[in-house]
Structure 1
Amino acid sequence: MLTSLLFLWFSTIAAGSSSNPAEEFAGDISIDCGSAGNSTAGNGRQWLGDVDINSPYLLRIEGFSTTSTVLRKNLLISGDDSDRVPYRTARISRSQFSYAFGPNPGQKILRFHFIPAPYKDSKGFEDLFSVEVGYFTLLRNFSASLAAQALGVNSIVKEFCLYLGDNEKFDIVFSPLLNSYAFINGIEIISVPSSFSYFGDDDNGVQVVGQKSKVSVDYNTALELIHRLSVRQINDPSIDGFDHTYPVWVSQKLSVVKNSTWRVPVDVGFRYFVRLHFSGIALKIMEYDDLMFDVLINEKIVHSNVDIMNERDGKNIPKYVDYLAVTRGHKKQSICDLVISLHLYDEFVDGNGLVDGFEVFKLSNNGVILASPNPLPPDHDAPHLPYVYWYVITSLVVVVFSLVIVVREPQSNQQSESQSETQSEPQSNEKQLSRRFSLSEIESATRNFSHKLLIGEGGCGQVYKGMIDNGRTIVAIKRMKPHSSEGAHEFSIGIKTLSELRHDNLVSLIGYCEEDREMILVYDYMAGGTLADRLKVPQENYSSLTWMQRLNICIGIARGLDYLHDRLGIIHGDVKTVNILLDKNLVAKISDFGLAQHADSSNLKTVRGTMGYIDPHYIYTGRLTKKSDVYSFGVVLLEILCGRLAINQRLPENQRVLTTWARENINSGNVDRIVSSHLRNEVSENSVKAFVAVVERCLHYSEPEQRPTMAEAVVQLVQVLELQDT
């Protein structure tokens, strides 16, 4: 079986290193999170439920969290019920919670199990959280849902190796981000035999590839498993006391250049610990004869038979050798290949016969961070990127250096207690450029914020229909949520910028109210509602939009964004159909500037936006640019063409993410399948092809500079309109 190789190595070493192996492994534990009882997995591993658990090694669970059961069993791991441990239940929370473990000191494998299935009182694609252990940040901005959706897998396993000192404990802290939740299905803590150590002291360092020096991988380092490959299968021996204890080895087929060459995609800018395990056959041969070979990493010779002969201790041949590789590349390059090669000069032994397998670990940067740039989704014109996804299957850390992703949920009422309570006081010149309303005027216009006049609700506040000027003028009144930093930001942007500028495709600001800690903006009323509502069919109050109407709306949005970008130097930051309003003549108006930023101050520590619309490159770099708006605009174009939501949990799994589903159909030549059924009888073939070409340019993943400017998008969409006319 796949685990047999690791069992053989670990048990052999452990048997020779401790007179009492059971003592060395005391404190190892497997937690079935959210379960009230104990279970036995299909491989015989014992899992303890964390509800009312009686174990000396799980000290406590802190913070507010609840237990939940997977709602749809068809999303679970296939097999009988025992194969689904620990994927049947989860511990889940929208606030921080933690586990405290007290295992014996020593090196520990820490393994997390996630299955992003629907859970009670939660929605898919809302899980977004960080995981910290002590001063190590293991995961940041991690979303198991998005990862599994992109990779087409049911579950994700993350594995790390850390050292636990005397009188220390593992405090594992799960911290969800705003409007998101954290969850965990299973936690395993597994001891590493001392003689199989991944860590060492200064006298026993690891050889650096391409250098004569050695580097110590000390106890202040954390390791993350990138890949563990079993090259050869070995029959599982009978190993008492250690069955199903150690991490799983997989026979993952990599890109094979020669019989003895493997390529492992890794992140640029990190150090990698590579351990190569010699096979029993090779060890036997080397005991009695010289086996001529070279080991190369990234085309540099790091080991040879001469080194092995020099390292002999009597007749004992080292069972494995360790190397340290440093990856470097262009600052725009996020992924490179770590190439491991074996060159043999013996016609009777091939490269695959020399080794049983190898391991690749990433070492924490700056001592505590394992964060790396997000692997970008595969672009249809970038065939090399599937390598990135293979890498993520075994090691997806959805991390963006020190970024925090905040997912905006239009209907969410949750607030962050840490948000600033500071109000934005307008300058005197700003007060003169827009009308200032008293709070009594606003209360009169909205009948004391009557629920009957509520016409919309977003992340920043609630929108009411109101009457001013003795009932002569209908307006939209947006009341910012108290203590909302985004609301305060939109309030500031509104009175500082929108009050002095007008454009046909921007919602016009009439005035504001700032009184008794209230922040209120008064806009022109848009009788046509939101674009999101108009795309929902059937509608009682609205007829379906025609293709010509949709094209004119697209052109209007593009012109509004071009004005923001070119004339104002403002990046909207949250372009989506909910934030596009329509007047009675169906003229598109861009609204909601709560996430807007000036282009010269768009380097953010916090990534904000709405899931399904956020530019992947923005998540990857943390830099909001005008091209980020272009990407979001591309998603809006798709919604207008397809009549679908950006993310729809009610659809089959392979259709939930609009961009993924649409790309697959476009790339396979099935453009007609993505066109809304309400449009198929009126759109011309040439018009649709030209429209899809604009969409593809806007959604360019890997190179944002290849996306058009909004001015270019206006020209291209006008051409689409002309094609439809002809």
Structure 2
Amino acid sequence: MFFCLLYIPLPVSSHFLLFLSNISKGFFFREMKSACQIIVFVLFFPFTMNSILVLSGSSESNFSYILSCGASGDETDADGRKWTPDTKFLASSDNSEIVTALYQDPSLPSTVPYMNARIFTSTTSYKFSVSPKTRLWLRLYFYPSTYNNLDPSKGCFYVVANGFTLLKNFSASITAKALTQAYIAREFSLTPVESGDLNVTITPSTEQSGSYAFINGIEVIPMPDIFQQPAALVGYSDQSVDVQSSSLQTMYRLNVGGQSIAPNNDSGLARTWYDDSPYLFGAAIGVTSEAGKNVRIQYSKDVTEDIAPLNVYSTARTMGPDPKVNQNYNLTWVFQIDINFTYVVRLHFCEYQLTKINQRVFDIFVNNQTAQSGADVIGWAGSRGMPVYKDYAAYVTDQSGDDEIWVALHPTVSMKPEYYDAILNGLEIFKVNDTNANLAGPNPVPSEMLVEAEAAEKKFSSSGSKFGSLVGGVAGGLAGCALAVAIAIFVHTKKNNVGGIHAKSGNWLPLYSHSNTTSKSTISGKSNASSHLSSLAAGLCRHFSLWEIKHGTKNFNESKVIGVGGFGKVYKGTIDGGTEVAIKRSNPSSEQGVHEFQTEIEMLSKLRHRHLVSLIGFCEEDGEMILVYDYMANGTLREHLYKSNKPPLSWKQRLEICIGAARGLHYLHTGARYTIIHRDVKTTNILLDENWVAKVSDFGLSKTGPNLNEGHVSTMVKGSFGYLDPEYFRRQQLTEKSDVYSFGVVLFEVLCARPALNANLPKERVSLADWALHCQRKGTLHEIIDPHLTGKINPECLKKFAETAEKCLSEHGIDRPSMGDVLWNLEFSLQLEENPGRVVVAENKANDAYATHTALLGIEEEMANKEVDDLNKNAVFSELVNPEAR
């Protein structure tokens, strides 16, 4: 099997991995998040090889190739590794040209092999003699700089290795911009070569005229056979994936609960294992630990150092010491991937704390499906300190709702173990080739802000900047104008979280950067996130000191926690001598924290409405990002519908709550200065005050106009599973009708009192939206409504309510009603419920009434909007209980 790595350079890149020494050094690519768009994509990273040696004792081969493409002689990189010219491995050098990059990005770890390249204008192959039936790592390096005045955007090409497509219409320039990286490395593991020859073919793309191909470096390294067992296919008890006969792409390689492991510490295999914290979902991130000196970790015949180094098995992440807390959350990681591929998830375990079976037993979930019930590491391994690993496979399609893989652990309560806990030591994810021998995914799409930055930079350049031509089309260029620099700084601030986290952009969940250090910039003792708040937003909100926050929460005492969400934990606290508030504190490893913090303050500081939450203030000291809201006495709508012991709401209460939420959304769409699209409408984001007044919350994902109807938000759609507008998902174009779709799911959720997604139900019933529409069209909707409502809803009211929800869930946004229409229909449904004997008015009279209602609503909202300084004391925080996926 071979591994292929690709590197792509870009000026906005930064702290990259250290190159290693030793020929066998493995690699792992990492994704980064582009600061502007809550979504950025897969990136891979380097490893270094120092000599032409066998990677492992398990391999009988003694060859390896480390080539600097376009070099005239032997060269040595910054790590002392020797690179040789590629000429003698080319099938023909007549249709290629040797070039040198015009610009050296500061983030390049070495001039070798990046500054030299070979350009191809037609199909060319490299041929390597390798040992038959030997797995290989094939690593390719790319630095998309300017070569001989060629347009970097024309560098689009295919890469095929022994019949397997590794890259398809690959644009190094576009990928670099989307990932804010200067270079990219990708690693592919191909099935063993039978003939003894490895052929790597590079072909310029035919999709656009003038395309060319280029490459900076190639490595061919033998590797041990680490895929000897089939992987169980999740969701199919009798099926598995034959990994050994498949070609793979390494997507992630993580040292769970520990620090990054450099390639030279990987038992001669030169893999890089990264910190897992950037991929943890939510504020409940568990606790980390390390094996004590009295515990000896030792390999077995089934698990050797080829599988993972001892450092992986000597650290772990567990859920924590509180069994009650552990039973109410999952320890979850989220990874961005390409759709329509099968993925192998390899989990590494080593129990070094406990000694007996049934002490720590847990369930393993992959993409919300049970991969393993009752996992007991001691039971698998036989004793403490003995590593084991398990492989699970999952197929991710474009019908699954998102291009992500979720891995979650939860205590197996039914087994009544001694400790309600779970453990994980390491994690790897590999993409499996499809039936067409393809491993290539699409190019990521540059985020909206990067596109704007590039446009601004070009505009500045055209006005006479001396640096415009130097920076070219690269967003955030180092010598550009103040605007471009400011945007670049904005991008980098999002990188400076723990482990170098980046915000999402494009169609990959970002990996973090090369650096394993944390770099926090502060201004006047405040986190740099705060420096991006507008003066108006900061002026309209109270700025709490960290001392006030700590005092009000008893120093963030766990007993004060009343909920967790994607942003972090929510505490019940007090301010000003006794006023109850909800305090939402960012999780330091949250990948969405800075963006949500900014957006929530920017939005809520300018909005006031009876049915929107009101923000009291914020705190931004010592790297903290904290939001303060009024305490919401009755919590979220969801906790009053199911999965709680609270008494069920009456139908009238539910209708009034839906009407209140619709009023809030209608105001966002039409009453504010610009159209505001919430983008995460769900029952956990509809909150209830002590009078049961509904308020829409959580504006961390919201987007504002004025040109949203024409603009793409991102290729990586944001929202929550089960509520996502399918049209938005397909077209990646956000409109207010996406909120209408999500609200339609909420309406059926209110009626049926069941989750938007329930993986425990038969396949056709998993999605509430699909199942409710099916029943509505068959006339059997009454069979799935909440039993507490049976016989308690006026038939005409139920008919009108169900029709409204059905229209909200129309496949195409143009067929969905506006939120104003939804609001009108819900109020009419309430009239039908309160006046069951009343004759329905004629349609024209209803329209007249609607017009009058809309005019009055506009006056009401205009008055509400003027009450900027009158903070609503019934507002609250967002995502109190069991938030869905982001």
TM-score between the two structures when normalised by the length of structure 1: 0.49
Structure with the higher fraction of residues in strand conformation: 1
Of structures 1 and 2, the one scoring higher in RCO (CA 8 A, sep 6+) is 2
TM-score between the two structures when normalised by the length of structure 2: 0.41
